[in-house]
Amino acid sequence: MRAMKRIVILISGRGSNMRSIIEAAAAEQWPARIAAVISNKADASGLAFAEAAGIPTKVIEHRAFAERAQFDVALSAEIDRHSPDLVVLAGFMRVLTPAFVQHYAGRLLNIHPSLLPSFPGLATHRQALEAGVKFHGATVHFVTAELDHGPIVDQACVPVMHNDTEATLAERVLAQEHMLYPRAVREFIEGVYHLAHGRVIRRDADRH
Please tell me whether residue 37 binds ligand GRF under the rule CB under 6 A: no
Query: Catalytic residue at 112?
Result: yes
Amino acid identity at 125: H
- Minimum Å gap between C-beta 29 and ligand GRF is 23
What are residue 10's phi and psi, to 5 degrees? -110, 130
Pick the binder of ligand GRF from 5, 7, 8, 16 (CB under 6 A).
16
Q: Which 113-142 positions form the footprint of ligand GRF (CB under 6 A)?
A: 113, 138
- By beta-carbon proximity to ligand GRF, the closer residue of 152 and 205 is 152
- By beta-carbon proximity to ligand GRF, the closer residue of 76 and 176 is 176
- Give the interface segment with ligand GRF, choosing from 15-23, 25-33, 96-104, 147-155 (CB under 6 A): 15-23
Pick the binder of ligand GRF from 7, 17, 36, 104 (CB under 6 A).
17
> Rounded to an integer, what is the distance from CA 159 to the centroid of its chain?
22
- By beta-carbon proximity to ligand GRF, the closer residue of 84 and 91 is 91
Please tell me whether residue 174 binds ligand GRF under the rule CB under 6 A: yes
Nearest Cα neighbor of 71 from 62, 58, 80, 79 is 62
**Which is the catalytic residue, given 112, 136, 141, 178?**
112
Longest alpha-carbon distance in the chain:
52
Quick note: the x/- pattern for ligand GRF over 75-114, rule CB under 6 A, is: ---------------xx-------------------xxx-
Q: Sign of dihedral through CA atoms 41, 45, 49, 51?
A: positive
- Give the interface segment with ligand GRF, choosing from 11-19, 23-31, 64-72, 99-107 (CB under 6 A): 11-19
Which residues bind to ligand GRF, rule: CB under 6 A?
Answer: 11, 13-17, 90-91, 111-113, 138, 174, 177
Which residues are marked as active site?
112
